[in-house]
Amino acid sequence: MEAFVAPEGGPRYLELNFSPSGEWAAYTFSGYRTAMVVDEDVEAPLIAVTPGHGELTVEVEVSLRCLRGGSAAAIALAAVIEETGGQLSYWALHHPPGRPDFHHACGFALRI
């Protein structure tokens, strides 16, 4: 699962990756897929995984204090799901036209 957070007023955005295993990563981009660097300022998230009958619930709590300034932001939420047979499906709040591209500005559909 991924969350992309773009503070208003510039091309910079943050990519947060979360796995049901508890692994996570944070990267900052200076613009669309440009100059990716590991973001050391993001605090470790809380990741809770609850298996159910035919489902898996993953809850993530992450602080965005690293964004500083308190301005509004646009968010894209996405997941890549691999089924037992290896089939992949791509999920997002909004997909741009064409192939799945979670970094595309059209995917930043949630405003906070």
* Secondary structure of the chain in HEC code, one letter for each residue: CEEEEEECCCCCEEEEEECCCCCEEEEEECECCECCEECCCCCCCEEEEEEECCEEEEEEECCCHHHCCCCCEEEEEEEEEECCCCCEEEEECCCCCCCCCCCCHHHCCEEC
Domain boundaries, the chain: 2-111
Please give the pLDDT value at position 97.
86
- List the pLDDT tens digit at each of the 112 positions of the chain: 999 999 887 788 999 999 989 999 999 999 999 999 998 888 899 999 999 998 889 999 988 776 666 678 899 999 998 888 999 999 999 988 888 899 988 889 898 8
Instruction: State pTM to two decimals.
Output: 0.86
Please give the pLDDT value at position 66.
62
Please give the pLDDT value at position 67.
66
